[in-house]
Structure 1
Amino acid sequence: MANKKFFWIKLKQDFFNDPYIKLLRRMAGGDTYTIIYLEMLVKSASTDGMLYFQGAGQDIAEELSLILDENVEDVRALLAYLEAKKLITHPEIKEDVFLVASADLTGSETDSAMRMRKFRERQTLHGNSKTSLSYVDVTDRYDKKEIEIDKELDIETDREQETDNKQSSVVTPAKTQLLNSLQDNGIFISPNSVAFDNLIAFHEQDGMEIEVLLKAIEVASAAGKNSVSYINGILNNKLSKNILTLEQYEKDEKNWQDNQSNRQAESDLTPEQAKWLADRQRKREQHATS
């Protein structure tokens, strides 16, 4: 089975001394804005700094307020500040947001690497404490037992790693489809690479239909983004909405397109037409709750 990858945000020691952050905190409501900014950084950690607009809100500010459970006006004010200071950009679609600081603050690690790191930390801790404690017989017996446990854990970790490697090297029809699709769209990566393992994990671990992965590759290629990170961003976006089948994917895309069309149509309305439409919508909502 492919290694799952975990992400986190690592703040630098001088993060709160950064002039942009200090200026943000001095604004009215600045502490709230700073927290929301940190929430956005955490949210973007697994998507290479991108926050994708899904169409659930009228704009990215409203959508982020729903996702982060924050006041929409606070989110809107923060986005305006970040954009003015060039701390966010819009690489493709205007509503999609790229957090410039994300790359410097994001850390990641596979589960196998995490297990090995924790094991090595236990070994180091044990090695540092053994000399000072071994003169006590009871502690000495405890140390010996710990050594035996650590050896067993080491053997078990090696077995898990060996099993992961064997399973990762097994060629399945889904892996063949994925590799062929990547190559057809000008993305050449080894089937034994971590990048490939992370992609196929959407299918093997998260339960996505392989057709969803293939669709994401097509979408990335059509946008001129022939990169694994962009494909990962699309798939993480769909996974966050529990979209696992091609049918769900296409329905989600249609809903987004319909929402965009409705927003465009509303922007073309006269003030009288817009008021009539808003009144009708309000009456429908009142009727639905009565």
Structure 2
Amino acid sequence: MANKKFFWIKLKQDFFNDPYIKLLRRMAGGDTYTIIYLEMLVKSASTGGMLYFQGAGQDIAEELSLILDENVEDVRALLAYLEAKKLITHPEIKEDVFLVASADLTGSETDSAMRMRKFRERQMLHGNGQASLSYADVTDRYDKKEIETELDIETEREQETENKKSSVVTPAKTMLLNSLQANGFFVSPNSMAFDNLIAFHEQDGMEIEVVIKAVEDASAAGKSNVSYINGILNNKLSNDIKTLDQYNQSEKVWQSKQSNRQAESDLTPEQAKWLADRQRKRERNATS
């Protein structure tokens, strides 16, 4: 049974004492901006700090306001502040956002490790609440010890299964390794980084060509870290893109939207207003 991975953000004790956060909170609407910033950090935890623009909104601010269910002007003001303070960057595409603080605040854990941790926490709480060692208590503790042993065995079996999978050389692994090396990513086939990449194919059902395309796109963007590849693949997976045809089609759609957006930015205010009015009229006719 394959392990799923869960992500979260972990705030440092002095997070709200950070000068950038204190300054943000002192702004008009600062508490709202801080909450949105935390929401963005949570959203980016599984993509290595990246927030990818998918084209649902006119820009990343409008799209984030839809995803996070926040006011678009609040999101826009926050992004302006974060960019001014260099707390976000745009690694490849202007609308994509990388949260600089994400790496230091993100934690992760496999599901088997989570089960074990929660069980031991419950066991500790239960043990602290016992006043005496009655027969029932001894039996209860024995049962818990037995359960803990079974969980340990289950975890070991899962790890053995994963290790066996990792040690088997498949054509897909060979293709991925060759692509990584050809594009300047020197990743060991026995590393966790490689396992995470091949898992998109072996566990999530992506075509290996999709993973390789993400490697090539990351290299073309001048990125040399595997987390950027993971970010691309997580973004595609979140949109249920698992084949190379779907990947290429999504890129065409995005490029088309970018071209339309650029064309709209070149319009005069009068032309832009006329175009917006026409679009609203079409939407009303479509719903009527």
Same fold (TM over 0.5): yes
Matching residue within 141, 145, 148 for 1:147: 145
- Determine if contact 1:7/1:45 at 8 Å carries over to the other structure: yes
| Partner residue in 1 for 2:51 | 51
1:220-244 deviation digits (Å, cap 9, x = unpaired):
1111213211111111111122211
1:24-82 deviation digits (Å, cap 9, x = unpaired):
22322222211110000011112222212222221111111122121111100111121
| Partner residue in 1 for 2:77 | 77
Q: Secondary structure of 2:93's partner?
A: coil
- Determine if contact 2:116/2:151 at 8 Å carries over to the other structure: no
| Partner residue in 1 for 2:206 | 208
Measured in 2, the distance between the counterparts of 1:131 and 1:284 equals 70
Alignment of 1:78-117 (within 5 A): 78-115=78-115, 117=117
Measured in 2, the distance between the counterparts of 1:11 and 1:31 equals 16
TM-score after normalising by structure 1: 0.89
Q: Give the 4+ runs in structure 1 shifted more than 4 A.
A: 115-123, 126-132
1:128-184 deviation digits (Å, cap 9, x = unpaired):
7599643x2221222222222222222222222212211222222222221121122
- Determine if contact 2:89/2:97 at 8 Å carries over to the other structure: yes
Matching residue within 184, 187, 191 for 1:186: 184
| Partner residue in 2 for 1:248 | 246
1:229-270 deviation digits (Å, cap 9, x = unpaired):
111111111112221111111111111111111111122223
* Residue 37 of structure 2 corresponds to residue 37 of structure 1: yes
Which moved further from structure 2: 145-154 or 30-39?
A: 145-154
Which moved further from structure 2: 196-205 or 79-88?
A: 79-88
Between Structure 1 and Structure 2, how many residues are aligned?
A: 288
Q: Secondary structure of 1:187's partner?
A: coil
Measured in 1, the distance between the counterparts of 2:283 and 2:122 equals 59
- State the 1:127 CA deviation: 11
Identity within the alignment, %: 82
Measured in 2, the distance between the counterparts of 1:164 and 1:132 equals 42
Cα RMSD of the aligned pairs, angstroms, is 2.4
* Higher relative contact order (CA closer than 8 Å, sequence separation 6+): 1
- State the 1:11 CA deviation: 0.9
- State the 1:118 CA deviation: 4.8
- Determine if contact 2:8/2:45 at 8 Å carries over to the other structure: yes
User: Unaligned regions of 5+ residues in structure 1, if any?
Assistant: none
| Partner residue in 2 for 1:174 | 172
Q: Secondary structure of 2:34's partner?
A: helix
Amino acid at match of 1:280: R
Q: Secondary structure of 2:7's partner?
A: strand
- Determine if contact 2:88/2:98 at 8 Å carries over to the other structure: yes
Measured in 2, the distance between the counterparts of 1:156 and 1:227 equals 33
Measured in 1, the distance between the counterparts of 2:51 and 2:227 equals 13
Amino acid at match of 1:167: K
* Residue 28 of structure 2 corresponds to residue 17 of structure 1: no
